[in-house]
Amino acid sequence: MSRIAEAFHNHKAFIPFITCGDPDLDTTYRTVLAMAENGADLIELGIPFSDPTAEGPVIMGADSRALESGTTTDAVLELAAALRQKISIPMVFMTYANVVYSYGSERFMNKAAKAGMDGLILPDVPFEEREDFEPVCRACDMDLIAMIAPTSEKRIAAIARAAGGFVYMVSSLGVTGVRSSITTDIGAMTKLVRENTDVPCAVGFGISTPEQAAKMASLSDGAIVGSAIVKMIAQHGTAAPAPVGAFVREMASAVHQAGSGADGCFSSPGSLY
pLDDT tens digits, one per residue of 49-101: 998 776 788 999 999 999 999 999 999 999 999 999 999 999 999 999 999 99
List the beta bridge partners of residue 43: 91
Interval 123-146 mean pLDDT: 95
Question: What percentage of the chain exceeds 90 in pLDDT?
Answer: 78
Q: Say whether pLDDT at 48 is over 90.
A: yes
Q: What angle do CA 142, 109, 141 make, to 5 degrees?
A: 25
Question: What percentage of the chain exceeds 70 in pLDDT?
Answer: 89
Helices in 219-240 by DSSP H: which ranges? Answer: 227-236
pLDDT tens digits, one per residue of 179-214: 344 446 788 889 989 999 999 999 998 899 999 999
Which one-letter amino acid corresponds to residue 188? A
**Other CB atoms within 10 A of residue 85 CB:** 7
pLDDT at 149: 85
Report all structural domains of the chain as residue ranges with CATH numbers, in order of start: 12-268 (3.20.20.70)
**Cα(218)–Cα(213) distance, rounded to whole angstroms?**
8
Task: Report helix, strand or coil for 91.
Answer: strand
Q: Which residues are within 8 A (CB) of 133 and not within 5 positions of it... i.e. 6 or more apart?
A: 97, 100, 105, 120, 122, 125, 144
